[in-house]
Structure 1
Amino acid sequence: MKNYRIVVEYDGSRYDGWQKQGNTDQTIQGKIEQVLERMSGKSIEVHGSGRTDAGVHALNQVANFHIDSDRKDQEIKEYLNHYLPEDIRVKTLEEVPERFHSRLNAEEKTYLYRIEMGEKRQVFDRKYIYGLHKKLDVKAMERAAAYLCGEHDFKSFCSNRKMKKSTVRNLKKIEFEKEDSRLFVRFTGDGFLYNMVRILMGTLIEVGLKERSPEEMAGILNALDRKTAGYTVPPEGLFLENVRYKQ
């Protein structure tokens, strides 16, 4: 039995997220497992580095699976790409040590959120950017981000109110990049809670619209209450950009 690591890119627009669910067959994990089962004739479980929500995209999602196959690595990759839908692509595939696990061994993840501040989104980009259509005070957002970076309890930024596990995470950095009427925001951390990036982004947008002050971030963190944070931005602007592992 060999263990393979794959790097996958996908357009999440028409999917119900990464994780396989009993009430839908429209998940990324489910689609990949279906193709692997078709190839091997056996049930195969694919482990992702994290669960992207419905409508969220990935540039470099990492996953791994164990399979007993005589096919060469390139043949497995080609088989996957041949039978996967056009909006899911395996970029790389390689055999890795037996103990490698894409989620448990992940050290750092970076999410990218894309915002259009101009009058209207470009037609062919509308599924991949949030049409805010309002100018933002990026300097104020950067000041607010400084309060959020570091190791904190991010319970206020989690949609799962019944979360029993620790909600402490290390948000290593938040980076802002402006390009004409577009704003790109990158969140890098050791892990993220359910909807955490989208709630952080919504809260920072409220700062950028001068609906909140940057100094309010400390109070929101201390409150440990979802109601104190900003709104949850829509999924189409969010991409899992990178997952990093120990070399």
Structure 2
Amino acid sequence: MSFFVRLNERTPLVGRLAMGVEYDGSGYCGWQRLKHAPSVQAALETALSQVSGDTVKVHCSGRTDSGVHATRQIVHLDPPVKRSEKAWVFGANTNLPRDIAVRWIREVPDDFHARFKALARRYRYVILNQPGRPVLERANATWCREPLDDKAMHAAAQALIGEQDFSSFRAAGCQSKTPWRHLHFIEVHRHGPLVVVDVQANAFLHHMIRNIVGALVAVGRGEQGVGYLAELLALKDRKLASATAPGCGLHFVDCVYDSRFDLPREPLGPNLLAFLGEWTGERELPDNPRFAYRRGQPGCDLPRCDQSQGEALTGKLALSREPLA
């Protein structure tokens, strides 16, 4: 399989680098570096700084919230020194805790930016639907003891597809300037005891996916009808929606970029769902002018984003600050 490759240990990597990172978020208060609590970013930057012998700062494709996992978090860095592919990967993993790992590293063009060049972000929410509490899956799936109707959940979720105002599904403390997001697809499928919510969008509001899943579980239990999510969407009021689903079931599984960046393809995570056989980047993106803008194609009249101040797009095409799940 193509992900079994020998890491180059002779040729130093130069210029900007992109890196694929996997982590179990159970022991961290999210991705972003914090002064008062452990974060994935702090652990990764500390490990990379030890490899380089100098301070290393990384930029991620999207911040994940407390307790949320990732199998394909993409970061980029401008290293202060040159090291080989093997030195970066092995060196980082030697200095990282066991719940974080660097999977690969690649040279990328100078205009690559893990956050601003991302075309789509994809998550999978895993629910273990069985009477007894889980043991082996307890840290990476949410347990629901009542039977769930996955077909009703899937039907209810289809009302969310498209570019819409997701005010009913954003956390009270969400810092985004706009509640508009473009949701590309959302699917709910059962695989034995596993009920999986698979969702992709241009970006997500704070707690957006977990709030959607909370509403879908209400539908799956029969507490609400199939039209429940459409009703919540129209209300534009988070206070009238269902409870937020726990973070432990949420996995950041893919971030899509233009093919010219040639990032490695991998089996889509988490490994609980490896039997599905899907690989990263296989889904087609919907037709949207944002993709031409992010690819830098001519003829796109969207304003250029200022990376030092965040993205300054307005109206329905407005993009948030770094996306949260």
Q: Distance in 2 between matches of 1:162 and 1:203?
A: 18
- Alignment counterpart, residue 94 of structure 1, candidates 106, 110, 122: 106
Task: Deviation per CA, 1:115-166: give whole Å up to 9, x if none.
Answer: 1111124311111110111111122112211111111111110003464511
Question: Quick check: 1:81–1:90 contact (8 Å CA) kept in 2?
Answer: yes
Could you tell me how far apart the structure 2 residues matched to 1:134 and 1:176 are? 17
- Partner AA of 2:18 in structure 1: R
Equivalent in the alignment of 1:120:
132
Taking the aligned partners of 1:152 and 1:81, their CA distance within structure 2 comes to 40
Aligned residue type for 1:2: G
Q: Is the 8 A contact 1:73 1:95 kept in 2?
A: no
Amino acid at match of 2:21: V
Of 91, 97, 100, the residue aligned with 1:85 is 97
Deviations 1:144-199 (A, max 9, x none): 11111111111110003464511110111111221212211111111100000000
Aligned residue number for residue 67 of structure 2 = 55
Offset at residue 201 of structure 1 (A): 0.3
SS at match of 1:67: coil
Deviation at 1:94, TM superposition (A): 0.6
For the pair 1:13 / 2:1, whether they are aligned, the reply is no
Q: Mean alpha-carbon deviation: is it higher for 165-174 or for 191-200?
A: 165-174
Supply the AA of the counterpart residue of 2:36. Answer: N
Please, which runs of 5 or more residues in structure 2 have no aligned partner? Answer: 1-13, 260-325
The amino acid of 1:229's aligned partner reads A
Deviation of 1:2 after TM superposition, in Å, equals 2.2
The Cα of 1:54 is off from its aligned counterpart by 0.9
Tell me how far apart the structure 2 counterparts of residues 45 and 86 of structure 1 sit (CA, whole Å).
Answer: 21
Counterpart of 1:205 in structure 2 is: 217
TM-score of the pair, normalised by structure 2: 0.73
Distance 2:198 2:250 in 1: 10
Distance in 1 (CA, whole Å) between partners of 2:175 and 2:142 is 28
For CA contacts below 8 A with separation 6 or more, give which structure has more relative contact order: 1
Deviation at 1:95, TM superposition (A): 1.2
Indicate the SS of the match to 2:184: strand
The 10-residue stretch of structure 1 (68-77 or 14-23) with the greater mean CA deviation from structure 2: 68-77
Find the aligned partners of 1:57 and 1:164 in 2 and give their Cα distance: 22
SS at match of 1:232: coil
Structure 1 CA distance, aligned partners of 2:118 and 2:199? Answer: 15
| Residue 185 of structure 1 pairs with residue 163 of structure 2 | no
Which residue of the partner structure matches residue 146 of structure 2?
A: 134
Higher strand share: 1
Deviates more, 1:38-47 or 1:225-234: 38-47
User: C-alpha distance in 1, partners of 2:258/2:172?
Assistant: 30
Are the aligned partners of 1:144 and 1:207 in contact in 2 as well (CA < 8 Å)? yes
Residues 2 and 68 of structure 1 are in contact (CA less than 8 Å); yes or no, is this contact kept in structure 2?
no
In structure 1, C-alpha distance between the alignment counterparts of 2:72 and 2:133, rounded to whole Å = 24
1:235 correspondence with 2:229: no
| SS at 1:50 equivalent | coil
Match of 1:43 among 52, 55, 60: 55
Residues 128 and 238 of structure 1 are in contact (CA less than 8 Å); yes or no, is this contact kept in structure 2? yes
Return closer, same or farther for 1:49/1:160 CA change in 2, 3 Å cut-off: farther
Aligned residues: 246
Residue of 212, 229, 243 corresponding to 1:217:
229
**Partners of 1:171 and 1:45 in 2: CA distance:** 30
1:37-88 Cα distance to aligned partner (Å, 9 max, x none): 2233332211111111111111111111111212112211111011111111
Match of 2:6?
none
- Structure 1: which 5+ residue stretches go unaligned? none
Tell me, yes or no, if the aligned pair for 2:213 and 2:244 is still in contact at 8 Å.
Answer: yes
Q: TM-score, normalised by structure 1?
A: 0.95
